[in-house]
Amino acid sequence: MRPGMGGWGCLLLTVAEATLVLLTRPPGSWGVHIIGGHEVVPHSRPYMASVHFRGQHHCGGFLLHAQWVVSAAHCFRNRDPLEGLVVLGAHDLQAPEPTQQVFSIKQAFIHPNYQPSSHANDICLLKLNSSAVLGGEVGLLKLPQKGSRQPKAGALCRVAGWGFRSDFEDPPPALMEAEVRVLGLDACNSSWCGQLSPAMLCTRSGDNQRRGFCTADSGGPLVCGSRAHGLVSFSGFWCGDPKYPDVYTRVSAFVTWIRGVVRKDLRGTTTAPCPGPPGPFQVLAAHCPGGTLRPREGAVGTPRPYTCVSPHASRTPTTPGPELGPP
Ligand X SMILES: *[C@@H]1O[C@H](CO)[C@@H](O)[C@H](O)[C@H]1NC(C)=O
The set of catalytic residues is 74, 122, 218
- Size (the chain), residues: 327
118 binds ligand X (CB under 6 A): no
301 binds ligand X (CB under 6 A): no
How many residues bind ligand X (CB under 6 A)? The answer is 12
Question: Between 18 and 201, whose beta carbon lies closer to ligand X?
Answer: 201
198 binds ligand X (CB under 6 A): yes
- Taking the complex as a whole, how short is the minimal distance between the CB of residue 66 and ligand X, in angstroms? 12
Q: For ligand X, which stretch binds (CB under 6 A), given 9-17, 97-105, 206-214, 228-236?
A: 97-105
Question: Between 243 and 287, whose beta carbon lies closer to ligand X?
Answer: 243
Q: For ligand X, which stretch binds (CB under 6 A), given 47-55, 191-199, 242-250, 298-306?
A: 191-199
Cα–Cα distance for residue pair 86/160, rounded to 1 Å: 16
- Taking the complex as a whole, how short is the minimal distance between the CB of residue 140 and ligand X, in angstroms? 19
Among 102, 140, 153, 155, binds ligand X (CB under 6 A): 102
- Taking the complex as a whole, how short is the minimal distance between the CB of residue 86 and ligand X, in angstroms? 9
Q: State the alpha helices, DSSP H only, in the chain.
A: 15-22, 185-191, 255-266, 280-287
Tell me which residue has its CB nearest to ligand X.
194
Question: Between 4 and 198, whose beta carbon lies closer to ligand X?
Answer: 198
Kindly give the pairing relationship between strand 156-161 and strand 176-183: antiparallel
- Taking the complex as a whole, how short is the minimal distance between the CB of residue 8 and ligand X, in angstroms? 19
Burial class (CB in 10 A: 0-12, 13-18, 19+), 75: buried
Distance of CA 250 to the CA centre of its chain: 12
51 φ/ψ angles, rounded to the nearest 5 degrees: -95, 125
Residues 149-188 that bind ligand X (CB under 6 A): 185
Residues 69-88 that bind ligand X (CB under 6 A): 85
- Taking the complex as a whole, how short is the minimal distance between the CB of residue 196 and ligand X, in angstroms? 5
Binding to ligand X by CB under 6 A, coded x per residue (else -) over 16-45, reads ------------------------------
Residues 6+ apart with CB under 8 A from 213: 15, 34, 35, 159, 161, 163, 178, 220, 232, 235, 239, 246
Burial class (CB in 10 A: 0-12, 13-18, 19+), 40: middle
Residues 125-154 that bind ligand X (CB under 6 A): 129-130
Q: For ligand X, which stretch binds (CB under 6 A), given 28-36, 194-202, 218-226, 249-257?
A: 194-202
197 binds ligand X (CB under 6 A): yes
100 binds ligand X (CB under 6 A): no
- Taking the complex as a whole, how short is the minimal distance between the CB of residue 310 and ligand X, in angstroms? 28
Burial class (CB in 10 A: 0-12, 13-18, 19+), 289: exposed
Among 78, 99, 100, 104, binds ligand X (CB under 6 A): 104
227 φ/ψ angles, rounded to the nearest 5 degrees: -130, 160
CA max distance for the chain: 59
Of the candidates 325, 22, 264, the residue with the CA atom closest to the CA atom of residue 167: 22
CB 251 within 8 A of CB 79: no
CB 111 within 8 A of CB 133: no
Which residues are at the interface with ligand X (CB under 6 A)? 85, 102-104, 129-130, 185, 189, 194, 196-198
